Amino acid sequence: MLFNFQNTYNKLPEIFYSKQLPSPVREPKLLYFNTDLAHELNLNIQNQEELTLILSGNKLSSGSEPIAQAYAGHQFGHFTILGDGRAILLGEILDKNQKRKDIQLKGSGKTTFSRGGDGRATLSSVLREYIISESMYALNIPTTRSLAVIGTSDKVFRGDLLASAVLTRVADSHIRVGTFEYFEDTNSLKILADYVIERHYSHIQNTPNKYLELLENIINAQAQLIAKWMNIGFVHGVMNTDNMTISGETIDYGPCAFIDEYNPDTVFSFIDTNGRYSFSNQAGIALWNLSRLAESLLPLFDSEPAKALEQAKEKLYKFSEEFEFYWLNEFRNKLGLQEEIPEDHDLFRSLLDLMHKNKADFTNTFRNLSKFNNIFPEGCETKNADLWLATWRARLKQEKTSPQEQINLMNKHNPVYIPRNHRVEQALLAANQGDFSLFDKLLEIMKKPFSENIIWQEYTELPSENERVKQTFCGT
């Protein structure tokens, strides 16, 4: 048996989902299969033909009870009823550590929640999610993952007729802030909250107010996640509440990208004209989203609305403090520091200010710190840069760790390689023309982002002005 599916989400009332079979595709072909992830999932893959049929949606695996999940969401601040419009949950499996994982097909056809679309996904959008999600995993950032890409001979219309594909996505679950927003009755909210607690936060099961503790745990998970994004230069691009998971995983890699030259106002989504989801806004938007979650959960906190609101506010106030704590810890690692001092925040912020002023590359600047070279481009203002470097080096000398230990710490947290936007776009363009060699190379490099290899030197270089990618698209 390829998949030993379980279906615990299906045990919830049917208001939570719609039973939905995938729509078959023509001429499915297995383009990519993540063997490392398959091993972690404890999958026994012996029949590739059957695997291709199942992961294309052309055959139903034994034990699978496919569903499209219901949820809502605030999209760019506006509330909308949504649901899986092009994704179908095949079921859940237990990995080799007995941890429950969702297996979902994305681009598997229309569902009852589709809003006029075709339910399909372009090959480009599927490959983009595959490379970015696996890069995030290699960069040690909590993320959904990609198990397989199935190519098809079907075409989808996105202004032009484009190649389509189906992605197999793996997640701790696909429950979102927007899932809670979908329900207005207290009974459904309680059922969902109990399910989330049992699946993701079982350690709070017997606490006096487990629903309030649930909010606190989700706040903490998101504070950790966004701190990691900010310290790797990642811009999600569309942080709607339906794109924020309860589990604390990064999900939905649409108009996402990594910063090249550091600019806190960087925006990649072509529809984000006001910068709502800019790089520097991500922590603030996370708090906004969590506030919408808290509003949904209010009836579970206390029977008195005023008291429930005060309890929620008390938890939400902790987000900024927790985010700052995790952000500082991540930054210390990037600078080879282990001891905490009050001046840390100013040291880190002044470096970012210098990087912004001097248009320094985010990834290369931090990686070059461990080489103790000049970290800024030629022609930059050196006086303040030299002063910062002197302050940082004096700080390193005060640490109890050795210089080599400091270098090792920096190299462990500052990658050499990221999936730079222009490299991703070049690989996707070639793949659409039938040449997957650039994608294969990028995938190989991103499996080892912290290991420097001279033959991959060109993948550390910034794009030329003609290669620069200023906007990305979700592909829906």
Q: Which residues form the catalytic set?
A: 242
Q: Give the largest Cα separation in the chain, rounded.
A: 67
Q: How many CB atoms lie within 10 A of CB 468?
A: 13
Residue 67's identity, in one-letter code, is: I
Q: Which two tokens stand for residue 328?
A: 């500082």
Which of 250, 206, 202 has the alpha carbon at shortest distance from 230? Answer: 250
The alpha helices in 20-92, defined as continuous H runs, are 35-40, 48-56
Q: Which two tokens stand for residue 190?
A: 């309680």
> Phi/psi at 149 (nearest 5 deg)?
-125, 125
Complete DSSP assignment for 100-114: EEEEEEES----TT-
Element containing residue 424 per DSSP (H, E): helix 421-432
Please give the distance of CA 252 from its chain centroid, rounded to a whole number: 7
Residue 458 bridge partners (DSSP): none
Q: Which two tokens stand for residue 362?
A: 């985010």
Q: 183, 72 in Cβ contact below 8 A?
A: no
> Which residue is listed with tokens 């990037």?
334
Q: Rounded to an integer, what distance in angstroms lies between the CA atom of residue 334 and that of residue 28?
A: 44
- Compute the half-sphere exposure of residue 247: CA atoms within 13 Å on the CB side of its CA: 21
Q: Which two tokens stand for residue 361?
A: 């590359």
Buried residues in 263-301 as b, exposed as e (16+ CB within 10 A) = eeebbbbebbeeebbbbebbbbbbbbbbbbbbebbbbbb
